[in-house]
Structure 1
Amino acid sequence: MDIDTFLRQRGGAARTAALAKAGYSRTRLAKALEANQITRVRRGVYSLPDEGGVLGLALRHNARLTCLSAAPIYGLWALREAEVAHLSPGHKKTVPGTLTHGRLLHRVHPLLPVAGLADVLIHALHCLPEIEALVLVQTPLQQGDVTLDFLRRKLPGNRNARARAVLDYVIPRADSLLEVLANYHFRRAGLHVRRHVQVPGVGEVDFLIEECLVVETDGVTHLEPKQVKKDRARNNATVIGGLLCLRFGYADVVHHPERMVAQVLAVLEQSRRGAFNPC
């Protein structure tokens, strides 16, 4: 394998030890440097020219990426990209222009300068706003990479109460980020929510709220013509079956959750007042 491919598989940077283990001798590294194939970030660390990125930054400071900066490495959902690098430096010195997290307590990534998944999640639960932390921890908990009991044990005492509270909103299964967010907002509003309910004549719906209102959360695939026709038929079947139905898209759920919840509450209030009684 050429050195360019090797480094790209590791995010663009690697330590000398990793390169030597892969068979790249000092002579070979020297030739690659001379040919401008690679650059020396610092002693013992090499990267592709201008492609070390945050991984190169972590190697340069003998640190490891964690929290939001590690989310892409582990394929975790995130509402935004990290504006600055989240690092666990492994020493007391703070890396300028970065967010510093505590020391690592669990096994680290085997190839990259990245904290282990357990530490990434614990750091996120302490660092990020509640809803962003929830989104990030949902995927590994849902897939069984870690368990709720494990994280709760790692977050004891009053000082970790806020972090533990986030875990109360993790759901056993979410087919999309929108489901996680919508469920969070509906529950925060005090609504009785059931997820992934089988409705006769319709199939599985995302949410059944207060046993009378179906709510569907639509990602980008629901804008495709074939899916639009399918969704229209499901809406009609829902109403024919005696239930109300609302649909919300990405912008509604992510950017205007208060408006989404207000519309749900308005329909429920109309129902309580008898507005949808038979003609």
Structure 2
Amino acid sequence: MDIQTFLRSRAGVTKTSALRGAGFTHTAVDRALAAGRIVRVRRGIYSLPGQSGAYGLALEHNALLTCLSAAPTYALWTVHDAGTVHLSPSHKGTPPGALPHGRCTHPAHPSLPVAGLADVLIHSLRCLPELESLVMVQCAAQRGDITVEFLRRKLPGNRNACARAILDHVIPRADSLLEVLANYHFRRAGLQVRRHVELPGVGEVDFLIEDCLVVETDGGSHLEPRQVKKDRKRNNATVIGGRLGLRFGYDDVVNHPQRMVAEVLGVLELCRLGAYGAR
């Protein structure tokens, strides 16, 4: 393995001690520097050109990326990208502009300056808006990387009540970020919601609301021509089967959830009034 490949395995940045541990001598490092294959971020820290980023900031301050800044490392769902860098600091504290979190109490990532998954999720539950942290926990929990019960035990006392309440919205299965968010909003609106219901002639639908309205949440793949044709057939089968159907995309679910819920409530009210010859 050459030094560049090794750095790529460390997200593009690492310490001298890690290079030495991998067998790269002082001479090999100097040659890579002279050739421009790597750069020195500061004394004891090296990166691929232009790739130090948040990982480099964490190493420079002997800190660990956590919360939203650590989500990409663990391939967790997120609603928005991290703007501010979230760090769990060492004794040196955090640099200006970074958002400090508490010390980590679980093993860190084995090769990157990133907090362990448990600490990342605990920090997110205490730090982020409710939906931002919910989708991160949902992603990790349904993959089997962590359990909701474990996180609940790690969040005792009154000061963690709000964080524990977020865990109540984690569902057994969600096929996408949009399902998590839509389920949250429908439940908050007091609707009777069933998820992943198998309907004759239609197949499995994302939501069946009040037993009369099918709601599907469409990610980017639903814009592909083959999927558009499939969705059109499913929409027709839904109506033929005696139920109404609505579809909502990313912008609806993420950016305009109140409008989405209002449209669902509006259709349900029209059903109640018999506007569609309701069942």
Which interval holds the TM-score relative to the shorter structure? over 0.9
Aligned-pair identity in percent equals 70
1:237 maps onto 2:237 in alignment:
yes
Check conservation: 2:209, 2:215, Cα contact below 8 A. Answer: yes
After TM superposition, list the pairs within 5 Å mapping 1:12-31 onto structure 2.
Answer: 12-31=12-31
After TM superposition, list the pairs within 5 Å mapping 1:185-264 onto structure 2.
Answer: 185-264=185-264
Q: Calculate the aligned-residue CA RMSD, in Å.
A: 1.4
* Letter of the 1:72 counterpart: P
Q: Which moved more, 1:266-275 or 1:58-67?
A: 266-275
* Letter of the 2:153 counterpart: R
Check conservation: 2:271, 2:278, Cα contact below 8 A. Answer: no
Structure 1 match to 2:4: 4
Check conservation: 1:39, 1:49, Cα contact below 8 A. Answer: yes
Unaligned runs of 5+ in 1: none
Structure 2 match to 1:126: 126
Find the aligned partners of 1:181 and 1:116 in 2 and give their Cα distance: 25
Distance 1:36 1:92, change over 3 A: closer
Check conservation: 1:101, 1:123, Cα contact below 8 A. Answer: yes
Q: Secondary structure at the match of 1:246?
A: strand
Check conservation: 2:272, 2:278, Cα contact below 8 A. Answer: no
1:35-93 C-alpha deviation (Å, 9 max, x unpaired): 33222223322112321111011101001100111111100011111112111112262
- Length, aligned pairs only: 279
Q: Secondary structure at the match of 1:72?
A: coil
1:177 maps onto 2:157 in alignment:
no
Check conservation: 2:39, 2:47, Cα contact below 8 A. Answer: yes
TM-score of the superposed pair, with normalisation by structure 2? 0.97
Deviation, structure 1 residue 138 = 1.1
Find the aligned partners of 1:196 and 1:263 in 2 and give their Cα distance: 21
1:274 maps onto 2:274 in alignment:
yes
Check conservation: 1:90, 1:104, Cα contact below 8 A. Answer: no
Q: Secondary structure at the match of 2:106?
A: coil
Check conservation: 1:89, 1:95, Cα contact below 8 A. Answer: no
Find the aligned partners of 1:278 and 1:93 in 2 and give their Cα distance: 62
TM-score of the superposed pair, with normalisation by structure 1? 0.97
Find the aligned partners of 1:37 and 1:85 in 2 and give their Cα distance: 27
Check conservation: 1:191, 1:209, Cα contact below 8 A. Answer: yes
Deviation, structure 1 residue 16 = 1.5
Q: Which moved more, 1:176-185 or 1:48-57?
A: 48-57
Unaligned runs of 5+ in 2: none
Find the aligned partners of 2:178 and 2:278 in 1 and give their Cα distance: 33
* Letter of the 1:84 counterpart: T
Structure 2 match to 1:63: 63
Structure 2 match to 1:159: 159
